[in-house]
Structure 1
Amino acid sequence: MGIIIHGGNARSASMRAMASAKKAEFDEAEKFIEETNEELNKAHRIQTDLIQAESRGDKTEISLLMVHAQDHLMNAMTVRDLALEIIDLNKKITQLSGGN
């Protein structure tokens, strides 16, 4: 469940970062990206613990919940990558239009 929770939190923070960038609130957008990265790190730690346990011989059941968790995490990572691009593009647009 931790992967799902932290993945969802990361995705939400990335979405807020993009919304902030659309309003040229780039400091706020960067704070949301920091939050995204912290949440992704938490999810990755849980994932790494599961992988290490499996490598020691502790089998993890491949359930629908586990598949959903992995899907959630990968989706959050993709949204973060897109958010970084959107923020960068909005910064360039703002600069070209004579904004901040």
Structure 2
Amino acid sequence: MVSQKLSTEKVAFQLILHSGNARSLLMEAMRFARDNEFELAETKVSEAKYELNEAHRSQTSLIQNEALGTSVEFSILLVHAQDHLMTTITVKELTEEIIYLHKKIENS
């Protein structure tokens, strides 16, 4: 039981780490877009997508373990980690739209 709990905590911290990294990169992307530096903005979005994929990889390990019969114990830390991930996914979608709008304004 202890190893499963540590494993869940490790996954939660990986989710927080990678989601936080992605969110920071996305904020940078929006600042670059504001300055019409679209290539740099797109690079930051790509880097953020990599971080989100890493977060999803961690999340998937929990889902797979549960599907195989290893239940995941409820944890506020895990809820917090999931919240970070879902918020960052929303930030990614909004960042992509903001970059698009900045490009449209620049080209008009």
Place the TM-score, normalised by the shorter chain, in its bin: over 0.9
Shift of 1:61: 1.1
Root mean square deviation, CA, Å: 0.5
| 2:77 aligned counterpart, secondary structure | helix
The structure 2 residue matched to 1:54, chosen from 58, 66, 73, is 66
Q: CA deviation at 1:59?
A: 1.2
Q: Give the Cα separation in 2 of the matches to 1:9 and 1:61.
A: 26
TM-score normalized by the length of structure 1: 0.95
Counterpart-to-counterpart distance in 1, 2:95 and 2:88: 10
Over the matched positions of the two proteins, sequence identity in percent amounts to 52
**TM-score normalised per structure 2:** 0.88
How many residue pairs align between the two structures?
A: 96
- Shift of residue 62 of structure 1? 1.3
Ranges of 4+ aligned residues in structure 1 off by more than 2 Å: none
Partner of 1:43: 55
1:1-100 → structure 2 map (5 Å cutoff): 1-96=13-108
User: Using the alignment, how far apart are the partners of 1:64 and 1:35 within structure 2?
Assistant: 28
Unmatched tracts of structure 1, length 5 or more: none
Which blocks of at least 5 consecutive residues in structure 2 are unaligned?
1-12
CA offsets 1:22-51 (integer angstroms, 9 cap, x no match): 000000000000011000000000000100
> What's the CA shift for 1:60?
1.1
